Amino acid sequence: MRAADRVIFDDVLTADFALDLPVPDGIEVVTFETDQVFQPADRSRRSQDRRHLGLRIFTCEVRPIS
């Protein structure tokens, strides 16, 4: 995860996870990147879906630090 040009989280994830990450003041752009992807068609014979899928985000909250 990047906040502007600064990396604020970089790790290999192997299961579901939850993170609380502080973002420096004044940052307006946060970017999520992953190289851990899969193709649904590789996991199921019933699927022809060849998209490269990575992160599935269920909830994302942005809260000011008080």
Per-residue pLDDT for the chain (66 aa), expressed as one digit of tens each? 999 989 999 998 878 888 888 888 888 899 998 888 889 999 888 999 999 888 888 888 888 776
Q: Are 31 and 4 a contacting pair, CB within 8 Å?
A: no
Residue 61 counted as domain residue? yes
- Tokens matching residue 48: 């022809």
CA distance linking residue 23 with residue 47, whole number of Å: 38
Residue 38 counted as domain residue? yes
Structure letter (DSSP) for residue 6: E
SS3 of residue 27 by DSSP: coil
Domain range enclosing 52: 34-66
CA distance linking residue 44 with residue 58, whole number of Å: 23
Reported pTM = 0.63
**pLDDT of res. 25:** 86
Residue 29 counted as domain residue? no
CA distance linking residue 6 with residue 30, whole number of Å: 10
In the chain, the number of structural domains is: 1
Residue 41 counted as domain residue? yes
